[in-house]
Amino acid sequence: MMNSLLDIKNLSTNYQSLAGPVRAVEDVNITLNPGESLGLVGESGCGKTTIIKSIMRLLPKDATSTGEIIFDDKNLLEISNSDMRKIRWDRISIVTQSAMNSLDPVYKVGDQIVEAIRTHESVSKQEAWKRAEELFEIVGVDKDRLHEYPHQYSGGMRQRAIIAMALALNPDLIVADEPTTALDVVVQAQILKRIREIQKRTKSSMIMVTHDISVVAETCQKVVVMYAGKVVESGSVKEVFEEPHHPYTMGLKNAFSDIKGEKFELISIPGYPPDLVNPPKGCRFAERCPFATDICYETTPDNTEVNNGHIAACHHVDKVNEMREEAKKRETWSNFDKGVAHK
């Protein structure tokens, strides 16, 4: 069996708040093999970014993580700060959510890339600068612009610059945290195309964090669907999206247009995610789920392996075919909405 590059086991992360600990991520398991790309999807606030920050150890001081994050046979939650610094960027780099503000406004973009290189490798400034020029060629930005400041860049260019920086040290794992959210649609498509090309070329593993499942469908092999801090379904992109076993995944599919351009009405999932200070008993999705029964409100569903490597955390995986048919209809979600109202 192949040794996995990243193995997250039973990761739980809490934040402190005035109301008590926020259980932002609970009992998450994710495995990523070398060269693989994985999509992490779910709506805002479901814990995607928290997982990324747990991996990079960038959480605020009052946050605590338990479980294991095994990267290259080391538990990232236990190694020393200086060992962690060596792993950051050199082995794991990130393309951040808000590339707009991720570059220091008072330094030239080139200098910031050179800084990343020279923090981890003892190369001369000229050499590092040359590498920055090559990186800019890869991401498709004129290398003369390395001499400019971030405010002289457009949003798309800044995102490219961050991608160039993320590639600078040939990391084993690149984490892209909503890399295209802040960009307009045309630029989004360009950036995604560029990310796909680069991934093919560098053979780095990738985690793509997004709330847009079409992005995952385009760029990833594996997908992990999260809801309210928990993994509800995971497996290969093909299986999870073509044969979803969790009602939340079905709902999510309805809420986005198909990338192939097939026309159908978008249906949204009514309601809001639960409060993570006092998460509900049982399945966290139950309140918004049109198929929920008593058991869903009582006991937490186990992870069921519905197919080889395809896991869903739902009590009703046996009724998946009926659910899938029903989930396609608008009434299923809207009737249910009324149902909640008079409950």
Near another protein by CB under 8 A: residue from 88, 222, 253, 316: 88
102 in contact with another protein (CB under 8 A) = yes
List residues bridging with 204 in a β-sheet.
none
Residue 115 CB neighbour total at 10 angstroms: 15
96 in contact with another protein (CB under 8 A) = yes
15 in contact with another protein (CB under 8 A) = no
Could you tell me if 155 and 187 are in contact, meaning their C-beta atoms sit under 8 angstroms apart? Answer: yes
Tokens representing 166 are 């993320």
Query: Which residue, among 65, 72, 97, has the nearest Cα to 86 in the 3D structure?
Result: 72
18 in contact with another protein (CB under 8 A) = no
Q: How far apart are CA 172 and CA 326, in angstroms?
A: 42
> Strand pairing of 230-236 and 310-312?
antiparallel
Closest approach, Cβ 231 to another protein, in A, equals: 24
261 in contact with another protein (CB under 8 A) = no
Listed ranges 16-24, 88-96, 200-208, 330-338: which one lies at the site for another protein (CB under 8 A): 88-96
How far, CA to CA in Å, does 129 sit from each of 132, 197, 311? Answer: 5, 23, 46
**Alpha helix ranges (H) inside the chain:** 48-56, 81-87, 109-120, 125-139, 155-167, 185-202, 213-219, 237-242, 247-255, 294-298, 320-327, 330-342
Q: Virtual CA dihedral for 293, 297, 299, 305, nearest 10 degrees?
A: 50
87 in contact with another protein (CB under 8 A) = yes
74 in contact with another protein (CB under 8 A) = no
Near another protein by CB under 8 A: residue from 27, 43, 115, 326: 115
Build a one-symbol-per-residue string for 158-187: x at contacts with another protein by CB under 8 A, - elsewhere. ----x--x----------------------
Closest approach, Cβ 150 to another protein, in A, equals: 9
Q: How far apart are CA 193 and CA 200, in angstroms?
A: 11
58 in contact with another protein (CB under 8 A) = yes
Per CB under 8 A, which of residues 126..155 are in contact with another protein? 149, 151
Closest approach, Cβ 80 to another protein, in A, equals: 13
Listed ranges 87-95, 126-134, 312-320, 333-341: which one lies at the site for another protein (CB under 8 A): 87-95
Closest approach, Cβ 159 to another protein, in A, equals: 13
Interface residue list for another protein (CB under 8 A): 56, 58, 85-90, 93-94, 96-98, 101-106, 115-116, 119-120, 149, 151, 162, 165
